[in-house]
Amino acid sequence: MTAPSNPTACLLIIGNEVLSGRTRDANLQYIARRLGEIGIPLREARVIPDDRAVIVATVNEVRAKFDHVFTTGGIGPTHDDITSECIAEAFGVPWEPHPEAWARLDNYYRSRGSPGDFNPARQRMATMPRGATLIDNVISLAPGFTMGNVHVLAGVPRICQAMFEALAPRLRGGPPIVSRTVHAHGMMEGRIAEGLADIQRRWPEVDIGSYPYYRPAGGGGVAVVAKGTDPDMVRAAAQDVAAFMRAAGGHPVEGEPA
């Protein structure tokens, strides 16, 4: 279990293309790991469509429920990019040109000698909820933004990651979540299940997860992950798991299965 003092996070992945299976999301895992390191555990993620009513209602639900909300997707220049205006609607504020974002894009196209390329579609990327704080975009310039406890990031993975890293220094987390993994190749989860339950009871502040794996060549086994904010407890629980696996005839190894 993560300490109750840790702030919590929810991720909203906004995009029909993920729900249709066209695109495989690549942001959840990155953001989840980084939030763990920062000590703001991700408690929920939702994939929702590019639908105004759904976005507004979901943003309002989760921003009340979690300390931080991250959104990915829907902040480009096209008609299906509606995240930004939906955030304004959710917060009940005007959606209007953001002077600093506007200046960045305007200057960019002027410096290229094509001021006309800062057209109405691209101007939408500099239009934001009133009161938004910019999140820098070192990849493709058009910024994300923070509005209240909602952090609005791009959907394209390398832009999303760059925005997250620009934002990260502003996020204040609790103790980082540390984990240790012990795996035993050739061991069946069903054989160690009862022993693991005992170890979980012994270490209530450590979160013990059991994950069977299969390899196309070479059979499978089980990986057990101990996770928490107290490194000593996590290490002790992982040692108990390894000792129990050995007693059950397995050959536990620290780390993820290769």
Length of the chain: 258
Say if CB 210 and CB 250 are below 8 A apart: no
215 versus 246: smaller Cβ distance to a copy of itself: 215
CB 239, min distance to a copy of itself, A: 18
The answer to whether 141 and 108 have CB atoms below 8 angstroms apart is yes
Q: Does position 43 bind a copy of itself by CB under 8 A?
A: yes
**How far is residue 104's CA from residue 94's CA, in Å, rounded to a whole number?**
21
- What does the alpha-carbon distance between residue 230 and residue 235 come to, in Å, rounded to a whole number? 9
Question: Is 139 strand, coil or helix?
Answer: coil
CB of 200 to a copy of itself, least distance (A): 5
The contact pattern for a copy of itself, residues 81-100, with x = CB under 8 A and - = no contact, is: x-------------------
User: Contacts with a copy of itself in 7-26 (CB under 8 A)?
Assistant: 16-25
Q: What residues numbered 178-197 form the site for a copy of itself, per CB under 8 A?
A: 179, 189-194, 196-197
Nearer to a copy of itself (CB atom), residue 57 or residue 93: 57
First to last CA, the chain: 27
Angle, CA of 154, 160 and 165, to the nearest 5°: 130
| Interface ranges with a copy of itself (CB under 8 A) | 16-25, 28-34, 36, 41-50, 54, 76-81, 117, 119-122, 124-125, 156, 158, 177, 179, 189-194, 196-197, 200, 207-214, 225, 227
